[in-house]
C-alpha cells in the first residue's frame, strides 16, 4: 500500500486498490483537501455545521465516483474536489430555496384562508358529488399546483386532453350551482 497522499497515489488507490487502500485514499482526501471547501462553505453562508458536513461528504463521494469512472485527472485532486463541492453547494441552495418557496406559499395560503369570511360548505358538498376523476384532476391542478403537462405524463394523456377534462369538471360544478 502506498502511504503518501500525492494525487497520483490517491487516484491509483481509488482505481486499483483494495479496500484498505481505498480507505487510505478517502482519508488522504479528507485530511488534505477539505479545509478550503469548509472555508468556502462557511464564507458562502452555510451556517449549520451539519449542512457543511453533508455537502463536504457528498462532494468527496462524487469526486471518488468521478475518479473511479476513469476520468483523467489533469489538475490536483483538491482542485477537483473544490469544483465538485461548489456544484453540490449550488444544488443545496436550489433545494433550500425551493423548500422555502413551498413553505412560504403554503403559509400564505393558510393565512389567507384563516381570514376568509366566506362559507365554503356548499362548494364542498358540490365538490363531493363530482366523480373521482374530476376530484382528482381538480385536486392535482388547484391544490397541488401541477402543470397540465405533468398531469398528462402521470395519467398517460396529452396536456390538451387534461385541460379539456378539467374544464368539463369545472362546468359540472357550475351547473350544480
Which domains can be identified in the chain, with CATH numbers? 7-106 (1.10.1740), 119-176 (1.10.10)
* pTM value > 0.85: no
Give the model confidence (pLDDT) of 90-116 as tens digits.
Answer: 888 888 777 766 666 666 666 666 555
**Residues 152-165: pLDDT tens digits?**
888 888 999 999 99
CA angle 39, 44, 50 (to 5 degrees): 70
What DSSP string describes 119-155? Answer: --HHHHHHHHHS-HHHHHHHIIIIIS---HHHHHHHH
CA 108 – CA 48 distance, rounded (Å):
27
Q: Percent of the chain at pLDDT above 70?
A: 86
- pLDDT tens for each residue of the chain, 177 residues long: 446 788 888 888 888 778 888 888 888 888 888 888 888 888 888 888 888 889 888 888 888 888 888 777 777 888 888 888 888 888 888 887 777 666 666 666 666 665 556 777 888 888 888 899 998 998 888 888 889 998 888 888 899 999 999 999 999 988 886
Amino acid at each position: 500500500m502506498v502511504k503518501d497522499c500525492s494525487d497520483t497515489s490517491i487516484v491509483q488507490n481509488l482505481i486499483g486498490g483494495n479496500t484498505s487502500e481505498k480507505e487510505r485514499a478517502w482519508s488522504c482526501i479528507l485530511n488534505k483537501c477539505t479545509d478550503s471547501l469548509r472555508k468556502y462553505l462557511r464564507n458562502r453562508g452555510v451556517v449549520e455545521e451539519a449542512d457543511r458536513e453533508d455537502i463536504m461528504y457528498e462532494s468527496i463521494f462524487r469526486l471518488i465516483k468521478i475518479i473511479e469512472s476513469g476520468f483523467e485527472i489533469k489538475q490536483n485532486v483538491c482542485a477537483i474536489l473544490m469544483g465538485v463541492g461548489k456544484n453540490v453547494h449550488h444544488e443545496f441552495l436550489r433545494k433550500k430555496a425551493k423548500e422555502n418557496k413551498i413553505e412560504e406559499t403554503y403559509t400564505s395560503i393558510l393565512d389567507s384562508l384563516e381570514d376568509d369570511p366566506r362559507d365554503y360548505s356548499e362548494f364542498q358538498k358540490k365538490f363531493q358529488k363530482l366523480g373521482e376523476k374530476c376530484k382528482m384532476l381538480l385536486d392535482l391542478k388547484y391544490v397541488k399546483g401541477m402543470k397540465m403537462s405533468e398531469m398528462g405524463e402521470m395519467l398517460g394523456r396529452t396536456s390538451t386532453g387534461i385541460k379539456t377534462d378539467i374544464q368539463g369538471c369545472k362546468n359540472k360544478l357550475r351547473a350544480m350551482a
